[in-house]
């Protein structure tokens, strides 16, 4: 290496400073800072927030949203969306209650519920990949279809005589950590490895960034999208099992409105609504952030309408902030170039 090359090479301090700057500019760092700030504020200003039983309840209360957010992240990174997840959850709950009333053992019902979720996801996937319909329109339709089927099966009936062994399991904990949170952590680790450390994950990012280029690069675009919708349906059904046993009640209206919280968490976690960008750690921190905000406001006796307003505000902010940042960088970039020698 020549003397000039050595002079032009960045020093260790410069590399460290550059890495620190990149880390501070990451969206996930902002979400982590917000999470820490809200936790500190709630611990100091909201009575009962830092109580061990409340922390355990908070973690348990985010279980279903976290489960559905895992696969929703993959779907949105692939530049699609699944708005039917909460209705799939409701349909699986209704199937569970209907089959339980019919006398089937719960051990046989649970795999059937997961199969129902897979079929719901496959239906969405076929309409999107084989007929070329937009996933937004398709899943708005199945959002109403699946919820309607749930009401046809169970009406307004609540099935509450579920096996105590399973209802206890859904609320069991290891110390202050609920058992279902451990399940979320294990599945999150699997999803993170798939998205960030495998060829399949790279293909999902590629087709989300530019579907046509990914197709001509050999990515099986339709097949990957189809199975992402199937996985989304299965995860919604798994969330339905947790939800039903946690509340010890199978109802057709279980999980109404959860799709908003799931999409809000994914977008707030830094996943681009246009696809091709995002990370699972950011999404999991956003799930916790929304859960902490909601829990603290409930403890502070804030009205439910305000909770919905805050959730909607965070959803809008999560979509606007990255795009405003991009606009600001585009506008300031020519000025910076003009100042450069």
pLDDT tens string 246-269:
999 999 999 998 998 899 899 888
The pLDDT value recorded for residue 91 is 96
User: Residue 132, Cβ neighbours under 10 Å: how many?
Assistant: 8
Write down the number of H helices and E strands in the chain.
Answer: 16, 2
pLDDT of residue 337: 46
Q: Is the pLDDT of residue 340 over 50?
A: no
DSSP state of 103: T
Q: Which residues make Cβ contacts (< 8 Å) with residue 99, sequence separation at least 6?
A: 108, 109, 112
Residue 210 lies in a domain: yes
Q: Does a structural domain hold residue 116?
A: yes
At 85 the pLDDT is 96
- Is the residue at 43 inside a domain? no
In a domain, 244, yes or no: yes
CA distances from 260 to 43, 215, 257 (A): 27, 31, 6
| Spatial contact of 62 and 283, defined as CB atoms under 8 Å apart | no
pTM: 0.87
Range of the domain at 287: 49-322
Whole-number Å distance between alpha carbons of 206 and 189? 21
State pLDDT tens for residues 170-188.
999 888 889 999 999 999 9
- Helical spans, DSSP H, in 46-163: 52-61, 63-77, 85-101, 106-129, 135-154
Counted domains in the chain: 1
146 torsion bin: left (phi>0), alpha (psi -120 to 50), beta (else): alpha
9 domain-assigned: no
Residue 278 within a domain? yes
In a domain, residue 37? The reply is no
Is 291 among the domain residues? Answer: yes
pLDDT for 292 equals: 92
Q: By C-alpha distance, which of 87, 29, 23, 45 is closest to 292?
A: 45
Q: Is the pLDDT of residue 339 over 50?
A: no
Q: What is the CATH number of the domain that holds 86?
A: 1.10.3470
């Amino acid at each position: 290496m020549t003397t000039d090359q050595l002079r032009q090479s960045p020093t260790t301090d410069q590399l460290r400073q550059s890495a620190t700057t990149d880390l501070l500019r990451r969206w996930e760092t902002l979400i982590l800072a917000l999470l820490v700030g809200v936790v500190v504020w709630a611990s100091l200003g909201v009575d009962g927030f830092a109580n061990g039983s409340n922390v355990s309840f908070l973690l348990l209360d985010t279980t279903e949203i976290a489960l559905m957010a895992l696969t929703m992240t993959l779907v949105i990174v692939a530049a699609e969306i699944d708005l039917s997840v909460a209705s799939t959850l409701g349909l699986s709950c209704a199937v569970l209650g209907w089959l339980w009333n019919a006398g089937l053992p719960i051990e046989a019902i649970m795999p059937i519920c997961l199969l129902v979720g897979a079929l719901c996801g496959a239906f969405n996937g076929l309409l999107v990949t084989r007929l070329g319909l937009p996933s937004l329109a398709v899943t708005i339709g199945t959002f109403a279809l699946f919820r309607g089927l749930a009401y046809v099966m169970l009406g307004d009936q609540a099935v509450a005589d579920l096996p105590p062994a399973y209802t206890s399991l859904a609320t069991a904990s290891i110390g202050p950590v609920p058992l279902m949170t451990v399940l979320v952590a294990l599945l999150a680790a699997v999803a993170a490895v798939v998205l960030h450390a495998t060829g399949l994950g790279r293909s999902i990012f590629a087709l989300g960034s530019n579907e046509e280029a990914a197709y001509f690069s050999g990515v099986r675009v339709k097949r990957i999208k189809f199975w992402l919708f199937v996985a989304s349906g299965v995860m919604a059904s798994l969330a339905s099992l947790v939800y039903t046993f946690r509340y010890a009640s199978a109802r057709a209206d279980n999980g109404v409105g959860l799709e908003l919280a799931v999409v809000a968490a994914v977008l707030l976690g830094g996943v681009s609504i246009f696809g091709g960008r995002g990370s699972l750690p950011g999404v999991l921190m956003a799930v916790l952030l929304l859960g902490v905000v909601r829990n603290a406001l409930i403890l502070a006796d804030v009205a439910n309408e305000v909770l919905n307003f805050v959730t909607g505000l965070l959803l809008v902010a999560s979509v606007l902030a990255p795009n405003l940042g991009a606009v600001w960088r585009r506008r300031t970039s020519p000025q910076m170039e003009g100042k450069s020698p």
